[in-house]
Amino acid sequence: MNYRRLGRTGINASEIGFGAWGIGGALWQDSQDDQSVRALHKAIDLGVNFIDTALAYGQGHSERLIGNVLRGRNERIYVATKIPPKNGQWPARKGTKLQDAFPHSYVIECTEKSLRNLRTDAIDIQQFHVWNDEWSDDAEWSDAIGKLKEQGKIRLFGVSVNDHEPENALRLGESGKADTFQVIYNIFDQSPEEKLFPFCRKKDIGIIVRVPFDEGSLTGSITPDTTFKKGDFRESYFRGDRKQEVVERVEKLKKLLDGEAKSLPELALRFVLSHSAVTTVIPGMRRVPNVEANCRISDGRLLSEKMMAELRKHRWNRNFYH
């Protein structure tokens, strides 16, 4: 496992982090706790030292699983979690008042819940699960975060940038109040390369990449006949004609598989890690084989400029979350 500097945070994070949405259950109906626990242990065994979770993942279930696993380990594992918006709006809508999403007392309350779930005295990175740059200068949230830092209950602060809106964090970045940004970046959504990544390098803000496989599109496992159990998040994400659209684009990507990447998941992860602004990528990993396959990608080998140029032709501007 290779490690990279997470901006100015002082953290050297594993290139492959553990995305823990799936182990929370709820919107992922095939999640099983025994498999999740084995996957977490295997990831740590293979050098993963960065785990990203959220209070909203299974109403704290993901955090509790992680807390139980880490209680029995001696390694230094960095955990990032997130506070859900109080108004339940994902993503944050323009014009929404900060007090409706992250009022002072609510930020404190959620952090206390996460501390109990994770069975820890301090959270390495506390994040807001949604963000609106209109809130950047609002003292209510920053006072709450400042208080939590002073109390030693959180070490760092970041935001999960809204889906496909990488520029909706630049104002916060200018303020110096954010240590990390978590953002969608993959072969289909390359928009962070335009402004966010250069900005973060200049400001030394750590970049955590989520959704490297586009919720499964870039694994090659989605076909026109793919079905999901009722209640599974992907049932909505791939609704209507979307599966067919995905297949048509993925078939073109398969033609690029060669010595640089032998599978679509490998190509997807190497694409993300080949950008120097990225510190860690957090694919969802619920099973040991997925953990092993993903961790193998952290071997220091980057994609060639020729391959990156080809992959940039596959940018796809769309939003399946709507």
Q: pLDDT (tens digit, 9 = 90+) per residue, 136-178?
A: 999 999 999 999 999 999 999 999 999 999 999 999 999 999 9
What is the residue range of 309's domain? 11-314
Q: What is the pLDDT of residue 140?
A: 95
- pLDDT reading at 298 higher than 90: yes
- The mean pLDDT of 168-197, rounded to a whole number, is 97
Q: How confident is the model at residue 228 (pLDDT cuts 50, 70, 90)?
A: confident
- The mean pLDDT of 71-78, rounded to a whole number, is 96
C-alpha distances in angstroms, 311 versus 59, 254, 255, 270?
37, 11, 11, 11
- The mean pLDDT of 220-229, rounded to a whole number, is 90
Mean pLDDT of the chain: 95
Q: What is the pLDDT of residue 26?
A: 59
Q: What is the pTM of this model?
A: 0.96
* Pairing relationship of beta strands 78-83 and 180-184 according to DSSP bridges: unpaired
In a domain, 278, yes or no: yes
Percent of the chain with pLDDT over 70: 98
In a domain, 124, yes or no: yes
Q: What is the pLDDT of residue 29?
A: 52
Q: What is the pLDDT of residue 234?
A: 87
Supply 215's token pair: 């919720």
Supply 266's token pair: 């490998």
Burial class (CB in 10 A: 0-12, 13-18, 19+), 266: middle
- Cα–Cα nearest to 13, from 4, 21, 22: 4
Residue pointed to by tokens 């740590």: 44
- pLDDT reading at 28 higher than 60: no
- The mean pLDDT of 102-107, rounded to a whole number, is 98
Q: How confident is the model at residue 27 (pLDDT cuts 50, 70, 90)?
A: low
- pLDDT reading at 233 higher than 90: no
- The mean pLDDT of 228-244, rounded to a whole number, is 87
The domain spanning residue 269 has which CATH number? 3.20.20.100
Question: How many Cα atoms sit within 13 Å of 15 on the Cβ side?
Answer: 21
- The mean pLDDT of 95-119, rounded to a whole number, is 97
Q: What is the pLDDT of residue 311?
A: 98
Residues 6+ apart with CB under 8 A from 90: 129, 130
Q: CA–CA separation, 222 vs 243, rounded Å? A: 7
Indicate the angle between helix axes 33-45 and 61-71, nearest 10 degrees.
50
Q: What is the pLDDT of residue 186?
A: 98
Q: How confident is the model at residue 322 (pLDDT cuts 50, 70, 90)?
A: confident
In a domain, 27, yes or no: yes
In a domain, 319, yes or no: no
Residue pointed to by tokens 């966010």: 196
- Cα–Cα nearest to 281, from 227, 213, 219: 213
In a domain, 271, yes or no: yes
Q: CA–CA separation, 40 vs 50, rounded Å? A: 11
Q: What is the pLDDT of residue 230?
A: 78
Q: Domain count for the chain, please give it.
A: 1
In a domain, 5, yes or no: no
In a domain, 2, yes or no: no
Supply 314's token pair: 């596959």
Q: How confident is the model at residue 31 (pLDDT cuts 50, 70, 90)?
A: low
- Reported in sequence order, the residue ranges of the chain that DSSP labels E, i.e. its strands, are 3-5, 12-14, 18-19, 50-52, 78-83, 123-128, 154-160, 180-184, 206-210, 280-281
In a domain, 321, yes or no: no
Q: What is the pLDDT of residue 30?
A: 58
C-alpha distances in angstroms, 153 versus 103, 120, 136, 275, 284?
18, 9, 22, 32, 26
